[in-house]
Homo-oligomer: A and B are copies of this chain.
Amino acid sequence: MSTNKGFIIWFTGLSGSGKTTIARILEKRVQAAGRHLESLDGDVVRTHLSKGLGFSKEDRDTNIRRIGYVGHLLQRNGVGVVCSAISPYRATRDELREMVGADFIEVYADCPLEICATRDGKVEMYAKAMRGEIKEFTGVSDPYEAPEKPELHLHTHQETPEESADRVMRYLVEHGYVAPVAVVAAAR
In the bound complex, CA of A51 to CA of B52 (Å)? 12
Q: Does A73 contact B (CB under 8 A)?
A: yes
Give Cα A77–Cα B79 distance, bound, in whole angstroms. Answer: 7
A3, CB-defined interface residue at 8 Å: no
Complex Cα spacing A62 to B79, Å:
25
Asked if A48 and B36 make an inter-chain contact with CB atoms under 8 angstroms apart, the answer reads no
Q: A141-181 CB contact bits vs B (8 Å, 1 = yes)?
A: 00000000000000000000000000000000000000000
A61 CB to closest chain B CB (Å) equals 12
Decide yes or no whether A74 CB sits under 8 A from chain B: yes
8 Å CB contact of A38 from B65, B69, B77: B77
Identity of the chain B residue whose Cβ is nearest the Cβ of A40 in the assembled complex: B73
Residues of B within 8 Å of A38, CB to CB, are 73, 77
Cα separation A62 to B69 with both chains bound (whole Å) = 17
A70 within 8 A of B: yes
Listed A/B pairs (22) with beta-carbon separation below 8 Å: A36-B77, A38-B73, A38-B77, A48-B65, A48-B66, A48-B69, A49-B49, A49-B66, A49-B69, A49-B70, A51-B62, A70-B70, A70-B73, A73-B73, A73-B74, A74-B74, A74-B77, A74-B79, A77-B77, A77-B79, A78-B79, A79-B79
Which residues of A line the B interface, CB within 8 A?
36, 38, 48-49, 51, 62, 65-66, 69-70, 73-74, 77-79
